[in-house]
Amino acid sequence: MPHSIPRRVTHAKRVFAFVAACLTLAASGQSTSASDLRFTAIVKAVQAARPAVVNIHGHKTVASGNGEHGFGDGLRRVNGMGTGVILDERGYIITNYHVVDGVRQIQVTMSSGRTVIARLVARDPATDLAIIKITSNGDLPLINIGTSKDLMPGEPVVAMGNAYGYEHTVTRGIISALNRTVQVTDSQQYHSLIQTDASINPGNSGGPLLNIDGEMIGINVAVRVGAQGIGFALPVDQVLEIAARLMSARRLSNTWHGVVGETVISKTGSKFVVQQVEQESPAAAIALEAGDVITAVEGIKVERELDFERALLGHEANDPVKIHVWRNGDPLQLDLVVSAATSNRPATASKTWRLLGLQLEPVANTVIRQVSTRYRGGLRVVSVRSGSPAAAKGIRRGDVLVGMHVWETVSLDNLAYILNRNDLVDGQPVKFYVLRGNETLYGHLTIKSS
């Protein structure tokens, strides 16, 4: 009893103070409506992101799962659902690959309620990401993109998605942990995930994880079966790096620019820095240099590699494209004339896949030098063909090929030179060197032209 009176008095004082504040606001002419009091940072974040978030529906056929060893006695049709985020005004949307895998007709519902049909244009099963496209007049809203570089455990986050088919569901929580590795199936493992206690349910896959400022910091990707209140998201910096590759001009427009660059993120923002210019490329023809910062392409602001690649989409070979560059503090305007991807690079890629079983992409020399100063650059392994010579020697995705025989492999041109040499005897083992983490590994590949 001695403490009950002070508590009641304190509560009465709080009520009186609140009423007095409202009367003061009313007297001053300021609004005291409930909407003003409820328009929180989370509400603002959701309202800003919602137009760029879409819901995905479709049907797929899967094994019934009743047979021995997990194989079914037949097939059954199931309803697929998930979420996507608009990355380009022309209708390019990123989502999880498992959301659209096997779906014959991908249906996309916009925030306005309009439903359209999308097509799958690029996919990366290893990272479980895919790009789908809908028809657009080029006026679709884009989501605000943040960074996952400075995330902090404990900071508030918001998840949006098509949870259990309930479109544009919003949940909130905090970042529980960073850099989680999660094995969701026998064949699918995720790395460097953001762990959150914001409720993520089936159907949330492919949707954005937002920070309190309404910026996308991740893509919701997984729910831990049997766990309560634990969800995971792919970090947005990793997602956009993969999206840049999936939406590259070479891949979607069959054009070649020759720029190998990197997104550099700092406290002041992000910028796209040229790390390397491929020999005899359109970029080399205009004397683009390593260290140049590309700031715009045809009026489209460039802050990331994804911006650069998507700005070049739709430009045909021999089209002059105006690019704006900062070089040593001075602005430059250059006309980049992209060319058709008909050089020896596609042929080299095909030959590398056929002879070695590898799909490769250039890695900027600055990235390599952060790991080892011994090498000027390398070719990152994007995919390894099952049963290939590379697979037999244990080469795996993420390794960086830095040399073969006595030559370095900084570019695909280097690799073409090696594979086309007459002094490499058919069937004779060729020594290779790969970087895995900060360790150099080597072995011998047997190359047979047949």
Known catalytic residues are 98, 128, 205
Please give the Cα distance from 211 to 41 (Å, whole number).
10
- Token reading at 73: 């006695």
User: Computed from CA positions of residues 331, 244, 247, 380, in that sequence, does the dihedral angle turn out positive or negative?
Assistant: positive
Closest CA to 143 of 62, 68, 209: 209
8 Å CB contact between 236 and 185: no
3-state secondary structure of 29: coil
Please give the Cα distance from 173 to 198 (Å, whole number).
4
Residue 209: exposed, middle, or buried by beta-carbon count in 10 A (0-12, 13-18, 19+)?
A: buried
Neighbours of 272 (CB within 10 A): 24
Please give the Cα distance from 367 to 416 (Å, whole number).
22
3-state secondary structure of 45: helix
Please give the Cα distance from 232 to 128 (Å, whole number).
13
- Token reading at 22: 């409202």
Question: Partners of 173 in the beta sheet?
Answer: 157
